[in-house]
Structure 1
Amino acid sequence: MTYPISYQLYSSRNFPPLFDQFSHLKSFGYDAIEPWLPAYEADPKTFRQALDDSGLKCHCFHMPLKGLVSEPNRFVDIAQTIGATVMIPPYVAPEDRGTTVEYWRNLGSQLAEGAAIAAEQGLKVAWHNHDFEFRAMADGSRPIDHIFDGAGQGVWFEIDCGWITRAGGDPAAELEKFADRIIAIQVKDLAPVGTTVDDGWVPTGSGIIDWPRLVPLFRKTRVEHIVTEHDNPSDWRGFAKSSINYLKMLGL
């Protein structure tokens, strides 16, 4: 089984104009764009037209947690305009993060409230992880588990294997643990520890993550989309092309 493969547009944010990238991504073999705010916010209709013109889709998009909490209907409208079916808050800034179980469970509850509103329009909400959710708190528990405990079953998960690895975790264990919740998988890869070039990120298949070991676990989840991302590539075209070629080689 193969999956639609999306390109997280954040990867090439430093190489504008963004719309000019779409035709290249289509030629590399990508099916879709996963945008981040503010790429689509100023003019969602124009963003959608650029996608349509290039033959690309938008399955998922990143949005602010505050937007889901305070302006859910505005982001539902954006989702419908750009053609996305999954709304993904991806981050809590360090200055906004709590340190208690209650804080993280409440974050999950906020996701659940937004997901209930989105579901009325046929949309889904998923959380996207970084490293901090997988680092143990003072009591030994992990934020990620409290987030989903608070969220209940109505909130999905876009799992980022690269950030889990950078946190010292095992993506295989988390793919198994959250298999019934995973709707999208980011296949971010890392260079060996100590590498500073491109902030230590590399194209998928060029780093330390054992993807052939993980692919069978992908297929045991409820994944609908695979997403490539690199937080700071010096060559976005090289990253994008190398990554999708590797995924195709794996049969994804």
Structure 2
Amino acid sequence: MPPSPLDRRTFLRATTATALAAGALTTAGALPAAAASGNRPIPRPAIGMHLYTMRRSLAVDFAGTVRALAGIGYATVGVSGRHGHSAAAIRAMLDDAGLDAVLEHVGYDRLTNNLEGACADVVTLGGHWVVTSSLPGSLYTLDGIRQAAAAFNRAGEVAATYGLKVLHHNHDAEFRTDGGRVLYDVLLEETDPDLVGFELDVYWAARGGYDAGDYFVDHPARFPALHVKDMAPGGGFADVGSGVLDFAAMFEHAHRGGVRQFLVEHDNPADELSTARNSFRHLRDLRF
């Protein structure tokens, strides 16, 4: 019998730790099962690829790579790395392939020092969100995370003038505790929901011991985009659907979280196009 909803985070922390230590976690044990209708698909326009996954191919042939993604069935991309191209040139290549850019990752320094330029580029790309890819290491404390939250609120005010919203992409460090507080929770609580949202990386949340599904319930409408990344039994990266994370259970309440984009990511794929194909097929066929 799966644990009760109140015990889900405790269960996930324990099972994830076991997987990392023993490399023997089964798919059924990765996340507790959830009662799901079992007939809700992810709409095709919501299935995207975060282009960091494809970075080696993009560096060689950007236009050909995005055409290949469209041929697989992807509808959208998250831009991460220009590979020498301007925002306008990338937009032209995406338009030619029939893909839409929904966001671009930028460094925290750009968010705080050149946000207007970042916003202008996202508008050129046709996206909705300007996303911080990570935080400086010095900010992973309670005081630092509050400083980051204040910076996100200020940036959100600027982005709103461009018709955009600021999002933050997490790693596992956001799920550390300081002063009895989970840093990610502090970010959620101290940012303005009208100005700041989150691109929740479900793999890194699991590595930190937390279930993305709980966040959808506890913080409605804060997560317009996801990084859908699977975990291998030993804790490494896996193609979506080939690892231990139970996406059907995780996504049961995705609508409550406000999820609009399910962006595939793999940090180190052996074969980028194979990962793209495998991951797309799993999300296309998934029911929750």
Q: Under a length normalisation based on structure 2, what TM-score does the superposition of the two structures give?
A: 0.80
**For residues 23 and 63 of structure 1, what CA distance do their matches in structure 2 show?**
24
Report the 3-state secondary structure (helix = DSSP H, G, I; strand = E; otherwise coil) of the residue aligned with 2:209: coil
**For residues 214 and 237 of structure 2, what CA distance do their matches in structure 1 show?**
22
In structure 2, stretches of 5+ residues that fail to align are 1-41
Q: CA deviation at 1:51?
A: 0.5
In structure 2, relative to structure 1, the CA distance for the partners of 1:218 and 1:128 (3 Å cut) is same
Report the 3-state secondary structure (helix = DSSP H, G, I; strand = E; otherwise coil) of the residue aligned with 2:100: coil
**For residues 208 and 118 of structure 2, what CA distance do their matches in structure 1 show?**
30
Partner of 1:149: 189
1:96-111 equivalences in 2 (<5 Å) = 97-111=138-152
| Residue deviations 1:31-88 (CA, integer Å, cap 9, x gap) | 011111344x741111111111111110111111111111111011101111111111
The more displaced of 162-171 and 44-53 is 162-171
Partner of 2:163: 122
In structure 1, stretches of 5+ residues that fail to align are 195-199
**For residues 242 and 206 of structure 2, what CA distance do their matches in structure 1 show?**
14
Asked if 1:36 corresponds to 2:47, the answer is no
The answer as to whether partners of 1:8 and 1:229 remain within 8 angstroms in 2 is: yes
- Highest CA radius of gyration, 1 or 2? 2
Q: CA deviation at 1:251?
A: 4.5
Q: CA deviation at 1:24?
A: 0.7
In structure 2, relative to structure 1, the CA distance for the partners of 1:63 and 1:99 (3 Å cut) is closer
Report the 3-state secondary structure (helix = DSSP H, G, I; strand = E; otherwise coil) of the residue aligned with 1:152: coil
**For residues 133 and 207 of structure 1, what CA distance do their matches in structure 2 show?**
23
Q: CA deviation at 1:93?
A: 3.8
Higher relative contact order structure (alpha carbons within 8 Å, sequence separation ≥ 6): 2
Partner of 2:35: none
Asked if 1:84 corresponds to 2:127, the answer is yes
In structure 2, relative to structure 1, the CA distance for the partners of 1:227 and 1:85 (3 Å cut) is same
The answer as to whether partners of 1:108 and 1:151 remain within 8 angstroms in 2 is: yes
Partner of 1:113: 154
**For residues 55 and 134 of structure 1, what CA distance do their matches in structure 2 show?**
37
Q: CA deviation at 1:166?
A: 1.3
Q: CA deviation at 1:112?
A: 1.0
1:173-188 equivalences in 2 (<5 Å) = 173-188=214-229
Q: Percent identity?
A: 27
| Residue deviations 1:164-202 (CA, integer Å, cap 9, x gap) | 1112222222222233211111111000126xxxxx111
Q: How many aligned residue pairs are there?
A: 243
In structure 2, relative to structure 1, the CA distance for the partners of 1:60 and 1:99 (3 Å cut) is closer
**For residues 8 and 161 of structure 1, what CA distance do their matches in structure 2 show?**
13
1:26 to 70, 73, 81: 70
The answer as to whether partners of 1:79 and 1:85 remain within 8 angstroms in 2 is: yes
State the superposition RMSD in angstroms: 1.7
Q: Under a length normalisation based on structure 1, what TM-score does the superposition of the two structures give?
A: 0.90
**For residues 93 and 141 of structure 1, what CA distance do their matches in structure 2 show?**
19
**Residue 273 of structure 2 aligns to which amino acid in structure 1?**
R
Partner of 2:49: 7
